[in-house]
């Protein structure tokens, strides 16, 4: 496998993690930007390559400062909560950085939200301003008409009646900053979770959170990254931590308007990307002769089927490494780049810098090595709590340990393995079956585009395993019959984990706003989950 660094020459993992933790963090994001603008003022900070919008680090500092002064002029200051409803356009990171300079707080609003959902997020977060792209004017107008005094509106992309023009805020403002300075533990984001059950909760994330996660991803491998691809939305956490990673590397980010499995590797090659988050959907694309023609040093993967991991690396000739993170903790675990012996094991790695992890039982006591329990995480820069949700915050912590809600086990070397959500289980005849484990085996079949495993009530065994299958475009159950699916599972899973019921669907599975498959709608859609399903025990359809 080609590599851009001799892996055997890297400093030991423990040593480089200690270095990451020992180096003092900047006071705030503005101070970090100042350092970079002083170091490499002419280096390109970002390139929105589909629209051609670019900016250098020196120009970025000036523009952020002017915008911060402009936001202050309309009443935004330290602690002000500002909703941001923008797609992947420069206005989003510019506004976020300007709010960071002010010590204000960004409340990201998903661009697909309806007026009702906008109203919930704005009201729950107590945001008093809303910056939005005029593309979303109908939803914003419906929200504003329902609550005319709820928020002051700022429009990006042209004048809108009843809203200030974002583009004019920086006009005539100074390009230097002499205002108050935010502290690392000042709140910067109220980031809403997916809300798979009930209403989303707002995670309170500080400037330290973003400084920490950016540094960890930038330096965990002791390699230089210069061209980083961002293909996920900035209104999720991922795009923002990749931006902070680039800041720490003095690198350039190449930003796509939206994710695309079919165009992903074309982007990687065209822009000479050396770090990316590789989407599982891209692996489903047909192999091509130039798959291995690229400059990627490391590709992060999340939830990628373990059985396909080695084949992924062989096909694309790059180092693909898993990890575990979530909105509440940022980066939790990392697989070091030199851990080639862990490829295909399904591990999500070892605790990242600034993080301690342990696996606990239902009382919070650490379980023995190899046993299954809930992953607990602590360390500087994790969430402060859920905004205005004291009961949810209390339930999420055991002391200073955050309860992830995910089932894990840890091996003798300290490597951690995720088995699924504590609530995403099938309990069959006294055995706990992690849905994620079964799903990862199913996704090894190239004909399957996506799948979801859910429990089906059963009088004899309590629950049985059912799998919803969505095949690749143009394929039907005749191309991947049930007996092939079952045979594949029987070769990889204990007999009690093999699905009893299979349901083929032509429409995509329902998803949360963050793109994760949402199972509650599947479970609620009919009274008898066995209907329309192939039954492994009877060998027939109902």
467-498 pLDDT tens trace: 999 999 999 999 999 999 999 999 888 788 99
Q: Which element (helix H / strand E) includes 213?
A: helix 207-219
With 70 as the cut, is the pLDDT of residue 129 above it? Answer: yes
75, 280, 301, 302, 338 from 291: Cα distances, Å: 51, 15, 17, 20, 22
Q: Which element (helix H / strand E) includes 16?
A: helix 13-22
- Strand duo 164-165 + 152-156: pairing: parallel
**Beta strands per DSSP E along 399-542:** 401-410, 416-421, 425-428, 431-434, 448-458, 462-471, 501-505, 534-535
With 80 as the cut, is the pLDDT of residue 7 above it? Answer: no
Q: What is the mean pLDDT of residues 291-305?
A: 94
Residue with the larger pLDDT of the pair 450 and 493: 450
In terms of Cβ atoms closer than 10 Å to its own Cβ (0-12, 13-18, 19+), residue 539 is exposed
Extents of the domains making up the chain = 26-172, 209-421, 425-535
Q: What is the mean pLDDT of residues 508-527?
A: 86
Q: What is the mean pLDDT of residues 402-421?
A: 93
Tell me whether domains 26-172 and 425-535 share a fold. no
- Strand duo 356-360 + 323-326: pairing: unpaired
Q: Which of 214-228, 449-463, 504-518 has the lowest mean pLDDT?
A: 504-518
With 90 as the cut, is the pLDDT of residue 504 above it? Answer: yes
Q: Which of 113-122, 254-263, 348-357, 370-379 has the lowest mean pLDDT?
A: 113-122
pLDDT at 327: 94
With 50 as the cut, is the pLDDT of residue 197 above it? Answer: no
Q: Which of 33, 39, 26 is nearest to 62 (CA)?
A: 33
With 80 as the cut, is the pLDDT of residue 3 above it? Answer: no
Fold of 209-421: Rossmann fold (3.40.50)
pLDDT at 196: 45
Fold of 425-535: GMP Synthetase; Chain A, domain 3 (3.30.300)
Please give the mean pLDDT across all residues of the chain: 94
DSSP state of 126: T
Q: Which residue in this structure is represented by tokens 């402009």?
A: 70
pLDDT at 431: 76
Q: What is the mean pLDDT of residues 329-351?
A: 97
Fold of 26-172: Rossmann fold (3.40.50)
With 80 as the cut, is the pLDDT of residue 1 above it? Answer: no
Q: Which residues have a Cβ under 8 Å from the Cβ of 483 and sit 6 or more positions away?
A: none
pLDDT bracket for residue 460 (50, 70, 90): confident
With 50 as the cut, is the pLDDT of residue 234 above it? Answer: yes
Among residues of the chain, what percentage have pLDDT more than 70? 97
pLDDT bracket for residue 178 (50, 70, 90): confident
Rounded to two decimals, what is the model's pTM? 0.85
pLDDT at 198: 54
pLDDT at 193: 84
3 state SS of 421: strand
């Amino acid at each position: 496998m080609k590599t851009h660094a001799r892996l055997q020459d890297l400093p030991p993992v423990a040593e480089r993690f200690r270095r990451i933790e020992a180096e003092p963090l900047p006071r705030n994001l503005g101070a970090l930007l100042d350092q970079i603008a002083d170091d490499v003022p002419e280096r390109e900070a970002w390139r929105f390559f589909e629209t051609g919008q670019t900016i250098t680090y020196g120009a970025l500092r000036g523009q952020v400062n002017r915008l911060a002064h402009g936001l202050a002029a309309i009443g935004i200051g330290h602690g002000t909560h500002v909703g941001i409803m923008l797609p992947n356009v420069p206005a989003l990171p510019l506004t976020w950085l300007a709010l960071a300079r002010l010590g204000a707080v960004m409340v990201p609003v998903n661009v697909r939200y309806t007026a009702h959902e906008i109203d919930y997020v704005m009201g729950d977060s107590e945001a008093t301003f809303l910056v939005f792209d005029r593309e979303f004017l109908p939803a914003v107008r419906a929200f504003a008409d329902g609550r005319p005094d709820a928020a002051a509106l700022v429009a990006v992309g042209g004048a809108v009646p009843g809203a200030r023009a974002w583009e004019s805020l920086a006009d005539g403002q100074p390009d230097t900053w002499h205002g108050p300075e935010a502290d690392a533990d000042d709140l910067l984001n109220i980031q809403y979770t997916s809300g798979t059950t009930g209403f989303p909760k707002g995670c309170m994330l500080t400037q330290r959170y973003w400084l920490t996660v950016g540094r960890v991803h930038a330096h965990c491998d002791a390699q230089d990254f210069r061209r980083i691809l961002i293909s996920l939305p900035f209104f999720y956490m991922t795009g923002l931590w990749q931006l902070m990673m680039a800041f720490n590397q003095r690198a350039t980010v190449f930003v796509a308007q939206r994710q695309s499995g079919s165009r992903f590797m074309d982007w990687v090659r065209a822009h000479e990307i050396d770090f990316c988050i590789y989407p599982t959907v891209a692996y489903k694309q047909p192999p091509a002769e130039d798959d291995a023609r690229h400059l990627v040093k490391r590709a992060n993967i999340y939830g990628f089927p373990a059985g396909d991991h080695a084949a992924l690396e062989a096909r694309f000739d790059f180092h693909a490494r898993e990890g575990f993170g979530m909105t509440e903790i940022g980066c939790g675990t990392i697989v070091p780049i030199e851990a080639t012996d862990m490829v295909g094991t399904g591990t999500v790695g070892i605790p990242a810098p600034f993080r301690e992890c342990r696996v606990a039982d239902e009382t919070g006591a650490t379980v023995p090595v190899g046993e299954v329990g809930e992953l607990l995480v602590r360390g500087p820069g994790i969430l402060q709590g859920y905004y205005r949700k004291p009961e949810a915050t209390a339930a999420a912590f055991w002391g200073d340990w955050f309860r992830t809600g995910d089932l894990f086990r840890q091996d003798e070397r300290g490597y951690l393995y995720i088995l699924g959500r504590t609530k995403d289980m099938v309990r069959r005849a006294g055995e706990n079956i992690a849905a994620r484990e079964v799903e990862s085996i199913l996704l090894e079949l190239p004909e399957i585009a996506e799948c979801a495993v859910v429990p089906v009530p059963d009088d004899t065994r309590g629950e049985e395993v059912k799998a919803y299958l969505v095949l690749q475009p143009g394929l039907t159950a005749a191309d991947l019959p049930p007996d092939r699916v079952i045979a594949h599972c029987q070769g990889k899973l204990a007999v009690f984990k093999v699905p009893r019921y299979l349901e083929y669907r032509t429409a995509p599975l329902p998803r949360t706003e963050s793109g994760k498959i949402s199972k509650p709608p599947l479970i609620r859609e009919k009274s008898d989950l066995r209907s329309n399903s192939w039954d492994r025990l009877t060998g027939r359809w109902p």
